[in-house]
Amino acid sequence: MKLMKDPDSGLMLPDTLIEDKTSLKMNINRIVEQAVNSVKLREDYFLVLHAKFEGCDFVVSQLIASLKLPSFCSNTMVFWVSPIKGIVELLWMVAAKKKGQKLKVEFNNKGVAYLQAKGAMPS
């Protein structure tokens, strides 16, 4: 087993894990880019990507473009999209909900929208 440095975390991980992670990120980016290119709204909107893993495959079951801020839903990623700039940022992700547990929302706490909501930046 060969170890490589993960470009995102800086951790030493098996090379196959880093390759799989990179491949998954490229696949998600491609799916989101295709979805953004297919939406014809003329104002900022939210793109909800509802997907899950089926075995080793990443399967997208639903893509929703909405002008209203979406609610938290299991197995989703929510992006803020501008028709002029394209994808502005990932707002949050919600992992799969396990039986008897609450939804676990992971906010993009380095993004502009999060910092504005916390009062760290002028809106």
Per-residue model confidence as pLDDT tens digits over 37-52: 888 889 999 999 888 7
pTM of the predicted model, to two decimals? 0.76
Q: Tokens 């170890």 label which residue?
A: 3
Average pLDDT over residues 68-72: 90
Q: Confirm whether 84 is domain-assigned.
A: yes
Contact criterion met (CB below 8 Å) for 119 and 97: no
Average pLDDT over residues 117-121: 67
- Model confidence at 97, pLDDT cuts 50, 70, 90, reads confident
- Model confidence at 122, pLDDT cuts 50, 70, 90, reads low
Contact criterion met (CB below 8 Å) for 64 and 45: no
Range of the domain at 74: 3-117
Q: Confirm whether 87 is domain-assigned.
A: yes
Give residue 120's pLDDT: 63
Q: Confirm whether 35 is domain-assigned.
A: yes
